[in-house]
Structure 1
Amino acid sequence: MTEPARAIRVLLADDETMIRHGVRLILRHADGIEVVAEAPDGRQAVESAAAHRPDVVLLDIRMPVCDGLAAIAPLLALDPAPRVVMLTTFGDDDNVVRALRAGAAGFLLKDEGPQELISAVRAAAAGDAVLSPGVTGAVISRMLRAGGAQDADGGRADERIARLTGREREVLAMLGEGLSNQDIAARLGIGIGTVKTHVGAILDKTGSTSRVQAALLAHRTGLAS
């Protein structure tokens, strides 16, 4: 008999009790997701993550004692490292950019709906970037302005795009939209495994170290807008 899949373990860190309560209630009713710990600040989030080994940490940016930005590095230094998704409010683009550069897997607006929250947790656990559509455009624009014309490997963006096949360009454009592997698979009518293969090839051929970097490349070259 096939063993049931292990539930995605989530740690929730937010200094607002009502936010934690609301998120916990939403995730409690989601299949395959378990909230294993909560924390009111970044320092306790790191301590709880070390003790409970979550797969995903939902991390508020603005918290007392130790804010979410300061907690990213010690969370990612854990073994195994959790996927860190920032909880943010509209207009906090500068801090979101800092979080992404520090290694966060993405960001989610606090006023997103229950299904968006559940999908974000599942996407992060699956290795996808979590890019809340409500602020993705503004965040990408800020990162592009800060990044300059050259890419991380010193090559021009259009030269890196030239290495991709036509289907890989299609997938890259969808990464720029913030779509998950599941969403891309549904739009293209292909399997999730095939999407993962394309994403791996895109990261390898373009020298991108993450889906967020690939999304930036898509916007820089006009594949996504």
Structure 2
Amino acid sequence: MDHRSSGTTTDVGTVRIGMVDDHQSPVWGIERILERQDDLTLIGSAPTVGDLLTEHPDLDVVILDLRLNDGTTPRENVNTLSEHGIVTVVYTSGEHPDLLRSAARAGTLGVVLKSASEDEILAALRAAASGEEVLTTEWAAAIDGDPNLDAVDLSPQLQRVLTLYASGGTSASVGSELGVTPDTVNEYLKRIRQKYVDAGRPTRTKLDLFKRAVEDGWLPMPHRSRAD
């Protein structure tokens, strides 16, 4: 586990910032930018959200890389941080709009490109700390490119069925995992497919279901050579 910290105590009114990235160079860049700020302090960093919260649970804002090697999705990570009362700013190269939309569904306050200027990064963090959306062209494009951003709402049970089945499971194996019959799993799958049809995003094949699960943040994007 690789953590860097600028300290665990801050002055009253100082925004406590954490960073989740499994590559160290972006952390060094943010650390350099924040070390000269009186109102923003990088408390620590970690390669996963779980690691960061274990070391530094009392944060105000987390800078979150979209693509992490632990298999988590942006949606899961934003939700986890939100449950701890921490707001999120996505820090990305901007090449994965599906992941941006996944983060948007979970309520992240916005996105900042890794190519952004220091002033843009600082403005974004200050805005997020105040509860304001971080409005950028990339953020608007990601949201506008998904007209059904909030159209598909799956219960926890349907989410579990989708992720297990779309990951390669069968009706029998999913049923065994969840303690229900294969017929019940097939009924759940019919409900899931109908919800996507109603949203204008049909899922005729198992591959379609996998794509929808990735698009909506239920499954992580398949790993490939990273740009983030």
Please classify the TM superposition score into its range, dividing by the shorter chain length.
0.5 to 0.7
In the alignment, structure 1 residue 28 sits paired with structure 2 residue 35: yes
Aligned to 2:82: 76
Residues 68/9 of structure 1: CA separation in 2 closer, same or farther (3 Å cut): farther
CA offset at residue 104 of structure 1? 1.0
User: Which of 62, 66, 69 is matched with 2:67 structurally?
Assistant: 62
List structure 1 segments (4+ residues) > 6 angstroms apart after TM superposition: none
What amino acid does structure 1 have at the position aligned with 2:79?
A
Partner residue in 2 for 1:212: none
Give the deviation of 1:68 after TM superposition. Answer: 5.5
- Amino acid paired to 1:20: V
Question: Distance in 2 between the 1:72 and 1:66 partners?
Answer: 14
Distance 1:66 1:45, change over 3 A: farther
Q: Write the distance in 1 (CA, Å) between the matches of 2:59 and 2:87.
A: 9
Q: Which residue of 2 aligns with 1:128?
A: 132
Which of 1 and 2 has greater Rg?
2
Query: Cα 1:10–1:146, aligned 2, differ >3 Å: closer, same or farther?
Result: closer
**Which of the residues 23, 27, 48 maps onto 1:16?**
23
Provide the TM-score with structure 2 as the length reference: 0.56
TM-superposed CA distance for 1:66, in Å, is: 4.7
| Superposed CA offset, 1:192-225 (max 9, x none) | xxxxxxxxxxxxxxxxxxxxxxxxxxxxxxxxxx
Whether contact under 8 Å (2:105, 2:150) holds in the other structure is no
Question: 1:81-111 deviations in whole A, cap 9, x for unaligned?
Answer: 0111111112211111110111211111111
Counterpart of 1:140?
143
Q: TM-score, normalised by structure 1?
A: 0.57
Q: Which structure carries more relative contact order (alpha carbon 8 Å, separation 6+)?
A: 2
**One-letter amino acid matched to 1:74:** T
The code of the aligned residue for 1:11 comes to G
3-state SS of 2:146 partner: helix
- Quick check: 1:88–1:108 contact (8 Å CA) kept in 2? yes
Q: Structure 2 unaligned segments of length 5 or more: list them.
A: 1-10, 152-228
Decide whether the 8 Å contact of 1:49 with 1:75 is kept in 2: no
Residue 37 in 1 paired to residue 44 in 2? yes
Q: Give the conservation status (yes or no) of the 8 Å contact 2:110–2:139.
A: no
Task: Structure 1 unaligned segments of length 5 or more: list them.
Answer: 149-225
The total of aligned residue pairs comes to 140
Distance 1:77 1:147, change over 3 A: closer
Identical counterparts, % of pairs: 26
Q: Secondary structure at the match of 1:25?
A: helix
Whether contact under 8 Å (1:43, 1:66) holds in the other structure is no
Q: 1:130 to 1:49 in 2, by over 3 A?
A: farther
Q: Supply the RMSD in Å over aligned alpha carbons.
A: 1.9
Q: Give the deviation of 1:145 after TM superposition.
A: 5.0
Residue number in structure 1 paired with 2:154: none
What amino acid is the match of 1:144? P
Contact 2:105 2:149 survives alignment (8 Å): no
Alpha-carbon separation, structure 1, partners of 2:117 and 2:77: 26
Q: Alpha carbons of 1:44 and 1:68: their partners in 2 closer, same or farther (altered >3 Å)?
A: farther
Any conservation in 2 of the 1:59–1:68 contact (CA below 8 Å)? no
Residues 25 and 94 of structure 1: CA distance in aligned 2, closer, same or farther (over 3 Å): same
TM-superposition CA deviations, 1:143-170 (whole Å, max 9, x none) = 325457xxxxxxxxxxxxxxxxxxxxxx
